[in-house]
Amino acid sequence: MKSLTFDIDWAPDEVVQHCLDILGEADVRATFFATHRSKLIDTIESFGHEVGIHPNFMPNFNGKGKPYRETIDQLMAIFPQARGVRFHSLGYSAPVLDYCFQSGIKYDSSVFLPFQAQPYLEYTGIRRIPFIESDLQTAIDQSGFAGTSLPYDSSVFLPFQAQPYLEYTGIRRIPFIESDLQTAIDQSGFAGTNLPYDSSLPFVYVFHPIHVFLNTYSMDHYSAAKEYYHEPEALLRHRNRQKDGVETMLVKILESNKPANFLTTGEIYNLYRETEMRGSQNKH
């Protein structure tokens, strides 16, 4: 299955109309992630297309933004039917996703993966539908602009193993596969740790000291403790001692693996970097 999506990015109606004409000609329906209201955008769905939202948090990154809830609220007031989001410049954070979900958003398509991947249900309740190709990425690939000195990034959550990949930004994205919060909220006996394991691919977990400390087992549990975040003694009274929690998971992982099985994410990055460099040497 394929899907065409369009980030409207404040384009004038004429520009948007051009895409609609092309799609209409091909009799193809698509998804538009909208930044604003216009006469044309108000009619897009009548052609069978989908309209999602395209929030912009770049002003926030520049120190000039309004509270993120206002940005989401304003878009959802215009497009109350929206079920999908892609963030402008892919700029978002976990609390923003949480709030999107509270506002009716069901899926996010801000995770770029240059290969096909299964959409998955995230702990926020939002279904994440990665996109596989973007105009910018393709343009830069073709011009060979991708950098060679690469910082790494490990902030993409994927509930399955995936190949790290070089993003058009020049950053290598190393998806993570399991997070303490996700596992706690799944409350499915920490089944995630029983995923089929391919030792040739990274399997990156994310933990948070607070959740290990609390042995967090649900969001309610964490919420009750959160106000004492900076009071360890009070936190201790909220520590879960009855059920399996995040700490339980961590211990199980450590017990079921040889120490040598663990690498730092930086080491994983280095391995991919070395492989890549060997590959480019072989070409010469």
Q: Other CB atoms closer than 10 Å to residue 177's CB: what's the count?
A: 22
List of residues contacting Zn ion (CB under 5 A): 7, 9, 88
- Cβ–Cβ under 8 Å, residues 176 and 201: no
CB of 33 to Zn ion, least distance (A): 7
CB of 134 to Zn ion, least distance (A): 10
CB of 7 to Zn ion, least distance (A): 4
Q: Which is nearer to Zn ion, 5 or 17 (CB)?
A: 5
Residue type, 228: Y
Q: Which is nearer to Zn ion, 88 or 221 (CB)?
A: 88
Per the structure block, which two tokens stand in for 6?
């369009």
Which residues are CB-contacts of 17 (< 8 A; sequence separation ≥ 6)? 40
- Cβ–Cβ under 8 Å, residues 163 and 201: yes
For 156-220, give the DSSP string.
-B-SS----EE-TTSPEE--B-EEHHHHHHH-STTGGGGS---TTS---EE--HHHHHHT--SHH
CB of 82 to Zn ion, least distance (A): 15
Per the structure block, which two tokens stand in for 272?
């991919």
CB of 9 to Zn ion, least distance (A): 4
CB of 281 to Zn ion, least distance (A): 37
How far apart, in whole angstroms, are the C-alpha atoms of residue 24 and residue 87? 26
How far apart, in whole angstroms, are the C-alpha atoms of residue 93 and residue 107? 14
